[in-house]
Amino acid sequence: VCFICFFLGGGGHPLVHAAYPSLTHLHSIGRSVEGRNLWVLVLGRFPTHHKIGIPEFKYVANMHGDETVGREILLHLIDFLVTSYGRDPVITRLLNNTRVHIMPTMNPDGFEATKVPDCYYSRGRYNKNGEDLNRNFPDAFESNNASIQPETRAVMNWIKNETFVLSANLHGGALVASYTFDNVTGSSKGYSRSPDDDVFIHLAKTYSFNHASMYKGTGCDNRQTFPEGITNGYSWYQLEGGMQDYNYVWGQCFEITLELSCCKYPPADQLEKFWRDNKVALIEYIKQVHLGVKGQVTDKNGDPIPNAIVEAKGRPHVCPYRTNQLGEYFLLLLPGTYVINVSATVPGFKSLLKTVEIPDTTGNFSALKQDFSFPEVSVRSRAASCPKIPLYQELEWASAAVKPTLHHILVLMTVLLVIFQ
């Protein structure tokens, strides 16, 4: 099947969807600067819409247009998934219990601009406006003054409109799985730790150890080694405006960055080997969307409560994780004992606490199900979201013994008002 002619060209016939109409849904989430569609293929038992209890997963590749391996192996992945469904019991169960979104290219203009393939660098890295899309997102640690590009805005809206739980962002130029955070504020000892650092390490190792060679950690030259094939993003190098931190802070979606090839744009005859090297890792990583706990938050009448804050005790997110419009929540957690705290943020509603024992559920293709029901009748609250400002910077200021300024007070009040409304 010619996936490239449809996904990556300007038009054509939707061959994949035509061949598998009940398993796939093809749509564009927006357009690039030059007007090319940003195609996404959704796969699953319910490809056209979200279904309660089924988590949303995504792979995004080629946000740097000259890094081509990820884009190609995602096309191979699509072929493998659709042809294995109904034949392979693991793939069948995976797609029956997961809604998988695949975007082979986030930067089609950059790819088309890469006329001479190069292993190390070309102008095709950037979009048509010369912007690096992986430096273009709002940043949780410092103000990012970059003008938001059409491709970036499309992905931000996509994240806002779906309930993504887990994601990976495919790159080239190294061989490593990198995880949040990429940036940091204040003093640092070379590691920027998130509240879910243990989960991120597990996710990165899941990919690395299922890859043909990433786990060896040898890197691409003698100067750059990555023990076990993983790295904290900031420990590698500091990055402002990255997509993985944005997903985690504002999208409630755990995302890691996968560097899949030492050569950014390798010869075509090497692509089959790249697919073989990554095939198992790509599938095993998708399974991790079923880690932890999930459920619905409802009121006395069984009506869903949207925007309720659901957090595991001891793991506070700077932008609290909330239920979607169906009252659903998904928390990625490793096996263990946790206290889940649910706050409806409605006057008169007290918080609900529940201790849960989470088993390893990835093999069952379903996280532990734990619903919460408030004894009161809900009054629907309006949608709440955190402002796209450096939340960690303001949080650090609030806890520091410094003399406040009017600006700091106003910004901090805005943050707290929006978060806890």
pLDDT tens by residue, 272-286: 999 999 999 999 999
Mean pLDDT of all residues in the chain?
90
Q: Is 412's pLDDT higher than 60?
A: no
Q: Is 400's pLDDT higher than 60?
A: no
CB 258 within 8 A of CB 330: no
CB 128 within 8 A of CB 112: no
**Rounded to two decimals, what is the model's pTM?**
0.92
pLDDT tens by residue, 108-160: 999 999 988 889 888 999 999 999 999 999 999 999 999 999 999 999 999 99
What pLDDT, on a 0 to 100 scale, did the predictor assign at position 307? 94
Closest Cα partner for 149 from 161, 134, 159, 162? 134
Amino acid symbol at 361? T
Amino acid symbol at 388? K
Closest Cα partner for 325 from 374, 384, 386? 384
Catalytic residue among 259, 311, 328, 394: 259
Cis peptide before 349 (omega within 30 of 0): no
DSSP secondary structure string for all residues of 161-196: HS-EEEEEEEE-SEEEEEES-S---S--SS----TT
CB 43 within 8 A of CB 78: yes
What pLDDT, on a 0 to 100 scale, did the predictor assign at position 14? 54
Q: What is the mean pLDDT of residues 36-41?
A: 97
Distance CA 273, CA 73 (A): 10
Instruction: State how far the alpha carbon of 196 is from the alpha carbons of 51, 106, 254, in Å.
Output: 26, 27, 9
Q: What is the mean pLDDT of residues 254-267?
A: 96
What pLDDT, on a 0 to 100 scale, did the predictor assign at position 380? 66
Distance CA 163, CA 159 (A): 7
Q: Is 2's pLDDT higher than 70?
A: no
Closest Cα partner for 101 from 53, 54, 32, 31? 54
What pLDDT, on a 0 to 100 scale, did the predictor assign at position 398? 61
Q: Is 219's pLDDT higher than 90?
A: no
Catalytic (active site) residue 272: no
